[in-house]
A and B are shown apart, each in its own frame.
Chain A
Amino acid sequence: MTTSATPVKGKSPLALPGRRSVPGRVVPVIATFVLFVLLFGVGTARYDGFLSGQVVANLFIDNAFLIVLAVGMTFVIVTGGIDLSVGAVVALSTMVAAAGLQAGLPAPLVVLLVLAMGSTLGLLMGLVIHYFEIQPFIVTLAGMFLARGLCFVVGVESISIKDPTFRTFATAAIPLSGTVSITWSVVIALAIVAVAVWVLHRTRFGRTAYAVGGNENSAMLMGLPVARVKVGVYVISGLCSAIAGLLFSLYMLSGYGLHAVGMELDAIAAVVIGGTLLSGGAGYVLGSLLGVLVLGVIQTLISFQGTLSSWWTKIAIGTLLLLFIVMQRVFMRRQP
């Protein structure tokens, strides 16, 4: 159709001019970034004090746990899977942490316990998904009910956290400049983003995850360790949920079985808005981070506005999600 020569013919080096400047795969991420800047611009234009370092810092502080969840979810969705259990695992993590601390266990042990629990849950779901060839949707839905139910086995009431180590971590402010400060949660979340970028984009494990998401059968025929990667992403997601649960218990300073209800959907929304394809095979960790920030900025806008109910956040997220899914579809159609 176009007149450009097919790359096979001739011996002349075919450079595909202009193709490399903006690879098509990055476009959705750029779109999310532009959206973030736009939303922030709207806030700056309408409200005094919106454009301040602390507002940006608060975006990270209030969403540190969601960032970690979205990072884990990105791994799963890149392989073409989904993990619905993350919100419930966050709740279970807060519950186990709070109950453990209440029982007098030392804080480091509680942290290890929670991390081990989250990873194990992820491992079990991953094994079932891969070896019994059951849809991730169903398996993680079961995992969600299981984790949510386990919360109430630990305790039906909210348990507040009084452990001094946890309290110090939760309240300590790390000053960045004169007026702006962040919490340790932000540091941890950003460290996890950095590690995830490295693992997903730079290691064989990560590249295999993309291959599995692109075409699982091909990946298998290419001799790649499909089983290890497919199970591995659920372990990562479980581990991230546990970490997010710990951050959430720092944020709330309590454990409760009704914490983080529906948070898995926020995480999925952030990942999708961040440009990751639900069908797998394409997406960036940084996109998911941007996705979370977009959700955060909407929330901030609505709180600055003052009169709107916070439920308007949900309406905005729903609209955005639809918009991005449609955009992805249109974008995919345009590709050859």
Chain B
Amino acid sequence: MSVDAKQAPAEPTPLVRMRGISVEFPGVKALQEVDFRLFPGEVHALMGENGAGKSTLIKALTGVYTPAAGVTTLDGREVSFSGPAEAQAAGISTVYQEVNLCPNLTVAENILLGREPRRFGAVDGRATRARAAELLADMGLHIDPGSVLAEHPIAVQQLVAIARAVAVDAKVLILDEPTSSLDQDEVAELFRIMRHLRDRGVAILFVSHFLEQVYEISDRMTVLRNGRLVGEHRTSELSRLDLVSLMIGRELGALAEVERLAGQAGEEASTVPVLEARGVGRKGSVAPFDLRINRGEVVGLAGLLGSGRTELARLLFGADRPDSGQVTVDGRALHLRGPRAAIAAGIAFCSEDRKGEGVVADLSIRDNLILAMQAANGWARPIPRRVKDQLVEKWIKALDIRPANPDALVGKLSGGNQQKVLLARWLVTEPKLLILDEPTRGIDIGAKTQIQKLVAELAQEGMAVVYISAELEEVVRLSHRVVVMKDRAKVAELDQNATVDDIMRLIAHVDERPEAVAA
């Protein structure tokens, strides 16, 4: 029942077949009797929320984990790998979310390191570059193989990693969240290459949090939930709504709820400014900009990676010191000497790097929340245990942090729940202005929705919010005004009626006449 479309007559035999795979960790059943098949010449999306078992399944396939039960066959032969190197030798290559290459070496070396053509025992530099150029051209990528990898944007580095992966004549290519740091053009380029490889018969396993991308590229999908298989479907036969409800296991009216809430808050958004910035800028970071954020208003910051959206937020928070302009909070001039001054003025900043700059992974949820509370309250005035417990319980409940155990270590929580703890940490200080930088990156749909809903509710209660996200739909859905950033400058400010298309046009800066292409 779990695997439908099983006996379609013309189906070829699967390249990879995993049957009854179970993976157990002490106290956790990460995977329970999961079946999975991967056919040559298809792009297969592995779907599920965080903690559903996607990465566990990949790691079971590539030999990082040894399954407690189950059989894996490759090309009909039973296999069991001792690690990624052995899996790679058998034709299963993996490209990870972070680019695992050496930035100090050339593109050619990165592609062929360990397999370079040799002459008289020495690496033949010219032949290496030629072979790399061949492989790159094969993928339709025209970059100089002799250039240093670090000179290229992350997207190109990711493509180089893929070139390396297929250089071993990979039969199976696993792409684990390859698009999380790419912009739209770059994703299109990646997809072009994926299709190209698929047409040559490579089986591609694709993991992504972006539904649109999954629907654009995949032929088939396997959905996991809580370590169990929920179904395998052809992408064309499964609607988005059905997919989402398969993934979360409940109907989802929540997004509509978010929109309703955001709309309400919009009507109530006041014209009392919480923060006003005039001509604030910093050389080499963001060009001087004006910005006004009102009480109960959500201001979205849209722009590509590197457009200056994070830098702008850091200026407002004093994490980087502006070298021009003036900021007033509640009508009083504020000297942004550093984050402490900003916090004292009631500004909170949730960094996009939640592991590095946000939560303390080795402390419990309770301790993380109390840290912030205590800081807000002053060290000299201890908070009674009873009050602490009440507050912690309140926030765990309000944000639906799971597990709802105050003593759970934050480092062990899923990304979405860590993000909620980080949010809660700031919320207990009751800020006037909350700056959220990519609060929904890399977290699952359920948590994403909850966080958006929370933002809408906070605005309704009168908090001013700056909302930064690469996902334009989110920005448009939540914001009353959208500030569009491009090339480290504010290029436009749109009102509530802005659409994703409007923003994209501004970012892409499409000229009306067709682009003159230099030959």
Is A bound to B?
Answer: yes
Q: Please encode chain B, from 133 to 151, with 1 for each CB lying within 8 Å of some chain A CB and 0 for all others.
A: 0000000111110111011
CA of A306 to CA of B143, assembled, Å: 56
Q: Is B105 a contact partner of A214 (Cβ separation < 8 A)?
A: yes
CA of A208 to CA of B96, assembled, Å: 21
Q: Pick the residue among B84, B116, B147 that contacts A204 (CB under 8 A).
A: B116
Q: Please encode chain A, from 28 to 68, with 1 for each CB lying within 8 Å of some chain B CB and 0 for all others.
A: 00000000000000000000000000000000000000000
CA of A144 to CA of B116, assembled, Å: 37
Cβ-Cβ contact count across A and B, 8 Å cutoff: 117
CA of A15 to CA of B146, assembled, Å: 10
Q: Is B123 a contact partner of A223 (Cβ separation < 8 A)?
A: no
Chain B residue numbers with a CB within 8 Å of A15 are: 144
Chain B residue numbers with a CB within 8 Å of A219 are: 102, 113
B44 within 8 A of A: no
Chain B residue numbers with a CB within 8 Å of A211 are: 102, 105, 109, 113
A207 within 8 A of B: yes
Q: Is A8 a contact partner of B102 (Cβ separation < 8 A)?
A: no
CA of A219 to CA of B85, assembled, Å: 11
Chain B residue numbers with a CB within 8 Å of A12 are: 142, 518-519
Q: Please encode chain B, from 104 to 123, with 1 for each CB lying within 8 Å of some chain A CB and 0 for all others.
A: 11000100011010100111
Q: Is A19 a contact partner of B104 (Cβ separation < 8 A)?
A: no
Interface size class of B (residues with CB under 8 A): 35 or more
CA of A216 to CA of B55, assembled, Å: 22
B153 within 8 A of A: yes
Q: Is A16 a contact partner of B144 (Cβ separation < 8 A)?
A: yes
CA of A211 to CA of B113, assembled, Å: 8
B400 within 8 A of A: no
Known: A1-B488, A224-B113. A218 touches B101 (CB 8 A): yes
A137 within 8 A of B: no
CA of A1 to CA of B489, assembled, Å: 10
Chain A residue numbers with a CB within 8 Å of B477 are: none
Query: Which of B78-105 touch A at CB < 8 Å?
Result: 84-85, 88, 96, 99-105
Q: Is B109 a contact partner of A221 (Cβ separation < 8 A)?
A: no
B164 within 8 A of A: yes
Q: Is B148 a contact partner of A23 (Cβ separation < 8 A)?
A: yes
CA of A24 to CA of B141, assembled, Å: 23
Which of A210, A218, A281 has the most C-beta atoms of chain B within 10 angstroms of its own C-beta? A218
A7 within 8 A of B: yes
Q: Give, as a whole number of angstroms, the nearest-CB distance from A283 to chain B.
A: 10
Q: Pick the residue among B85, B103, B147, B518 that contacts A19 (CB under 8 A).
A: B147
A104 within 8 A of B: no
Which of A12, A25, A221, A225 has the most C-beta atoms of chain B within 10 angstroms of its own C-beta? A221
Q: Give, as a whole number of angstroms, the nearest-CB distance from A329 to chain B.
A: 16
CA of A281 to CA of B113, assembled, Å: 14
A330 within 8 A of B: no
Q: Pick the residue among B99, B105, B113, B189 that contacts A9 (CB under 8 A).
A: B189
A217 within 8 A of B: yes
Closest to A199 in B: B122
CA of A9 to CA of B142, assembled, Å: 9
Interface size class of A (residues with CB under 8 A): 35 or more
A14 within 8 A of B: yes
Known: A8-B189, A223-B88. A207 touches B123 (CB 8 A): yes
Q: Is A8 a contact partner of B116 (Cβ separation < 8 A)?
A: no
Q: Pick the residue among A9, A23, A206, A221 that contacts B96 (CB under 8 A).
A: A221
Q: Give, as a whole number of angstroms, the nearest-CB distance from B322 to chain A.
A: 19
Q: Is A222 a contact partner of B114 (Cβ separation < 8 A)?
A: yes
Chain B residue numbers with a CB within 8 Å of A223 are: 84-85, 88, 114
Which of B85, B102, B159, B185 has the most C-beta atoms of chain A within 10 angstroms of its own C-beta? B102
Q: Is B88 a contact partner of A210 (Cβ separation < 8 A)?
A: no
Closest to A223 in B: B85
CA of A77 to CA of B519, assembled, Å: 46
Q: Give, as a whole number of angstroms, the nearest-CB distance from A251 to chain B.
A: 33
Query: Which of A271-285 touch B at CB < 8 Å?
Result: 281-282
B152 within 8 A of A: yes
Q: Pick the residue among B85, B144, B153, B164 that contacts A20 (CB under 8 A).
A: B144
Q: Is B146 a contact partner of A20 (Cβ separation < 8 A)?
A: yes
Closest to B151 in A: A336
Which of B103, B104, B147, B150 has the most C-beta atoms of chain A within 10 angstroms of its own C-beta? B104
Q: Is A11 a contact partner of B142 (Cβ separation < 8 A)?
A: yes
B155 within 8 A of A: yes
Chain B residue numbers with a CB within 8 Å of A215 are: 100-103
Which of B105, B121, B148, B156 has the most C-beta atoms of chain A within 10 angstroms of its own C-beta? B105
CA of A206 to CA of B159, assembled, Å: 25
Listed A/B pairs (20) with beta-carbon separation below 8 Å: A6-B186, A7-B142, A8-B185, A12-B142, A13-B142, A19-B151, A202-B123, A204-B116, A204-B118, A207-B113, A214-B103, A214-B104, A215-B103, A217-B100, A218-B101, A222-B113, A223-B88, A281-B104, A335-B151, A336-B151
Could you tell me which B residues sit within 8 Å of A by CB distance?
84-85, 88, 96, 99-105, 109, 113-114, 116, 118, 121-123, 125, 140-144, 146-148, 150-153, 155-156, 159, 164, 185-186, 189, 487-488, 517-519
Closest 3 CB pairs of A and B: A214-B102, A281-B104, A214-B104
Could you tell me which A residues sit within 8 Å of B by CB distance?
1, 6-16, 19-20, 23-25, 198, 202-204, 206-208, 210-211, 213-215, 217-219, 221-225, 281-282, 335-336
A-B contact sample (14 more), CB < 8 A, given A14-B142, A25-B148, A218-B102:
A1-B487, A6-B156, A6-B185, A8-B186, A9-B185, A16-B147, A23-B148, A24-B148, A202-B125, A203-B123, A207-B113, A207-B116, A215-B101, A281-B104
